[in-house]
Amino acid sequence: MQQSVIEVNHLYKAYQTAAGDFPVLKDVNLQVLAGDYVAIMGPSGSGKSTFMNILGCLDMPTAGNYVLDGYAVATMAADQVAKVRNQTIGFVFQGFNLLARASLLDNVALPLVYAGVSKEARHARASLLLEKVGLSKHMHSHPNQISGGQQQRVAIARALVNQPRLILADEPTGNLDSTTSEEIMAIFDGLNQEGITIVLVTHETDIAEHAKRQVRFLDGRIVQDTGAVASTVIGHDHV
Amino acid sequence: MFSAMLGEAWHAMGANRLRTFLTMLGMVIGVGAVVLMMAIGQGAEASVKRSISAMGSHLFVVLSGPPRMGGARTATGNAPSLNVRDANAIGELYGVVGVAPVTMGKGQVVYASNNWNTDIIGTTAEYMDIRGWGLSAGYPFSTSDTRSATRVALLGKTVVQNLFGEEDDVDPIGKTIRINQRPFVVLGVLDSKGQTLDGRDQDDTIIVPLTTAQRKLFGNQLPGTVRQIMVQAESDNVMSMVEDALNSLLNQRHNIREGADSDFSVRNLTAIANSAAETARTMSLLLGAIASVSLLVGGIGIMNIMLVSVTERTREIGIRMAIGARERDILMQFLLEAIMISIVGCLIGIVIGVTGAVLVSVFTQAEVIVSSASVLIAFSVAASIGVFFGFYPARKAARLNPIEALRYQ
């Protein structure tokens, strides 16, 4: 039986403003099985970014359950959440978010620092991943010396360095031209074929078509899901 | 992981060199000032302490007088009311370990074509022990010299220099000099004692046996009288007891009724010296305290820059949190940076402080002491300042909301 990596039930999120609570997510339900490849789409303000932040354990829901890889995130202590971000999830951002002062090698190796890996092992693993994304020649360069597409490859290498089960990508091609976007998406496709679960946010349909499944948000709700897991399948031993 | 963090802190320091340097400067000046001020203070304290030990420890001096002469009192020491028998009686008191009756005057000293006017001290052999005064050459005189009033003399260094010349080409031991026209054989040369607290040259002196001074140098007003009696107590603890005993013994011996004016006075030399040492110590503390204020200012400078740095690097903090940094990792990163700035600043400050102390001692001849304790104190204070003033900015960084930090432009 296929294991579910993400399971979200009746999720609500509201921001408190001066004018009262402002709801962003209203009763969101989603199950993502291991090996799935999901594109989340929707207009800006539809709540898809907030949803990604919650999936990435950067934000907490106001109400509802989020179970990630068998663990109820809401009940975790801060240090455990940090560990989940470090080991279970790999993040890829629209703006790459590399450390400008560090070399590409150190950027890729950074998550391993927080995992407590020794220096030699860090560098060995990081250079392996830089090679995988085709940047081993530049490993001692700095992020401002390479192109946007190359920076995003470094970010992907960084996301992969701790061998996560899940890659979360928030508009990974948003800052790239269409050719480079295709190259980046090819990397994601390859990773998914290796068995890594991928959830990405995009508003471009041609990008979303790389995914096996498209989920559309509107006004804080899921309005369309091309690959919803049938309720009969949710018979697993988690929760 | 810790070494990785140290490396990052070092990198961060190097990222904005001018700013790091200026921040450090506060620490450098603070630590430099503390080290230098403590060196000067401790030097002053040490030189006072040396003056005290040059004088001898646990000392009383009993002076004769003040007598009344038709209603007007004369200076103490003028009327010879004390005598050698008083000194012997004092020697019997419990807690007294040494007694030396002293008479003194001025004398004109001649050797070959040189002459010099100096203080002549007539006393017993015990005087040298009480004052802790040794000889750099020759021998001290003995009790038999005192008994038979032999014409022997111990010369202070200043006297030797004036009579025998600055160079050591003439050995004064065994030479015959004339004091007030009378021949004296030089038995020994006194150790150099330097100046007293009030600047008097203690080496400008000649010591002769008491009886010799009484009978052969200063004539004689009343046989056996002395100007003063030096008394050494056994320890600090018995000082006040000995002082009371001295007063009652001498009142009794001099037939002075209760309530009447004494014809002698007892002075506690150690107390006077201790108060001078206390003053020096207070000054040393005061200097240190003033210098510490600059350390504090340096610490505030570090805090200020760390707050700026946290704000500037908000996005970086967000990235680190997103890839798995725990709160304490972020806290440690910024704390290490603050500590590193203060410790490096402190090391430079110590070098500058020590150099300054050496320069001060070279140019002013004042005594300065750089003790390892003062360096250690400055170092640990600086490190704690790094922790103290680095903690708030570091905690601020650690408590950032990751989403807001990631969105920060």
| A233 contact B CB<8A | no
* Cβ B399 vs Cβ B391: under 8 Å: no
Backbone torsion region of residue A68, taken as left when φ is above 0, otherwise alpha when ψ lies between -120 and 50, otherwise beta: beta
Rounded distance, CA B210 to CA B151, Å? Answer: 11
Contacts of A94 in chain B (CB under 8 A): none
Q: Would you call B406 and A86 a contact, using CB atoms and an 8 Å cutoff?
A: no
pTM of the prediction? Answer: 0.71
Alpha-carbon span A33 to A3, nearest angstrom: 6
C-alpha B402/C-alpha B398 separation (Å) is: 10
Nearest CA in chain A to B402: A58
How far apart are the C-alpha atoms of B152 and B154, rounded to whole Å? 7
- B315 contacts A114? CB cut-off 8 A: no
Closest CB to B325: pick one of A56, A101, A114. A114
Q: From the list B5, B11, B402, which residue is nearest A101 (CB)?
A: B11
> How close A120 comes to chain B (CA, Å)?
11
From A190, A199, A194, A133, select the one nearest A166 (Cα to Cα). A199
Are B150 and B237 in contact by the 8 Å Cβ rule? The answer is no
Q: For residue range A11-54, list pLDDT tens digits in order.
A: 999 988 888 888 999 999 999 999 999 999 999 889 898 999 99
Contact between chains at A114 and B406 (C-beta distance less than 8 A) = no
Would you list which residues of chain B are within 8 Å, Cβ to Cβ, of chain A? 1, 3-5, 11-12, 15, 315-316, 318-329, 402-403, 406
Buried b / exposed e along A178-216 (16+ C-beta atoms within 10 A):
eebbebbbebbeebbeeebbbbbbbbeeebbebbebbbb
A37 membership: H or E segment, kind and range: strand A37-41
The answer, for A77 touching chain B at a CB cutoff of 8 Å, is no
Per-residue pLDDT of chain A in tens (239 residues, 90 and over written 9): 568 899 999 999 998 888 888 899 999 999 999 999 999 999 988 989 899 999 999 888 999 999 999 889 888 898 999 999 999 999 999 889 999 888 999 999 999 999 989 999 999 999 999 999 999 899 899 999 999 999 999 999 999 999 999 999 999 998 899 999 999 999 999 999 999 999 999 988 999 999 999 999 999 999 999 987 654 444 444 43
State the Cα–Cα distance between residues B103 and B208, nearest whole angstrom.
10
Report the run of H or E that residue A78 belongs to, with start and end. helix A78-87
Query: B155, B152, B141: which is closest to B192 by C-alpha?
Result: B155
Residues contacting residue B34 through CB under 8 Å, at least 6 positions apart: B288, B291, B292, B294, B295, B349, B353, B374, B377, B378, B381
Residues composing chain A: 239
A20-33 sheet: strands from edge to edge: A20-33, A4-17, A63-68, A71-72
Contact B322/A101, CB-based, under 8 Å? no
Alpha carbon B22 to chain centroid distance? 37
**Tokens (6 digits) for B164:** 């025998």
Q: d(Cα B226, Cα B103) in Å, to the nearest integer?
A: 5
What DSSP character marks residue B165?
A: -
Handedness of CA B118, B121, B125, B127 (dihedral sign): negative
Q: Choose among B3, B315, B324: nearest Cβ to A86.
A: B324
Helix (H), strand (E) at residue A33: strand A20-33
Interface membership of A183 toward B (CB under 8 Å): no
Helical ranges in B66-114 per DSSP H: 84-91
Record the tokens describing residue B258, joined without a space: 């209760």
Inspect the interface and report whether the beta carbons of A58 and B321 lie closer than 8 Å: yes
Strand stretches in B52-161, DSSP E: 59-64, 68-69, 72-73, 82-83, 96-111, 114-123, 135-138, 152-155
Q: Which two tokens stand for residue B349?
A: 């400050």
| Closest to B130 measured CA to CA, from B171, B98, B175, B89 | B98
Beta bridge partners of B3: none
Structure tokens at A141: 């360069």
Let me know: does B397 contact B391? Beta carbons within 8 Å: no
Tally of CB atoms within 10 A around A134: 13
Do the beta carbons of residue B201 and residue B135 sit within 8 Å?
no
From the list A85, A101, A113, the residue facing B1 with the nearest CB is A113
Interface test mutation site (partner A, options B312, B315, B323, max chain A beta carbons within 10 A)? B323
- The conformation of residue B216, written as its DSSP 8-state character, comes to I
Q: Cβ contact (<8 Å) for A114 and B323?
A: yes
* pLDDT values of chain B reduced to their tens digit, one per residue, 409 residues: 677 788 888 888 888 889 999 999 989 999 998 889 888 888 888 888 777 776 677 888 888 876 555 566 666 555 667 888 888 888 888 888 889 999 888 889 999 888 899 999 999 888 888 888 888 888 888 888 888 888 999 999 899 988 888 777 778 888 899 998 889 999 999 988 877 767 788 889 999 998 888 888 887 666 778 888 999 988 878 888 888 888 888 888 888 887 777 788 888 877 777 787 788 888 888 888 888 888 888 889 999 999 999 999 999 999 999 999 999 999 999 999 999 999 999 999 999 999 999 999 888 888 888 888 888 888 888 888 889 999 999 999 999 999 889 888 7
Measured CA to CA, the distance from residue B264 to residue B256 in angstroms comes to 10
Tell me which amino acid residue B285 is: L
Helix, strand or coil, per DSSP, at residue B297: helix
Partners of B61 in the β-ladder: B230, B267
Mutate to test the interface with B, among A52, A85, A108 (most CBs of B within 10 A): A85
Does A119 lie at the interface with B, CB-CB under 8 angstroms? yes
Selecting from A53, A83, A119 the residue whose C-beta is nearest the C-beta of B324 gives: A83
Quote the CA–CA distance of B27 and B374 in Å, as a whole number: 16
Which among A93, A98, A115 is the nearest to B324, CB-wise? A115
The three-class DSSP label of residue A4 is strand
Cβ separation B326–A82 shorter than 8 A: yes
Dihedral of alpha carbons A170, A175, A178, A184, sign: negative
- DSSP letters spanning B343-368: HHHHHHHHHHHHHHHHHHHHHH----
- Nearest by CB to residue A58, choosing from B1, B315, B403, is B403
Q: Is B106 helix (H, G, I), strand (E, B) or coil?
A: strand
A110/B3 CB distance under 8 A: no
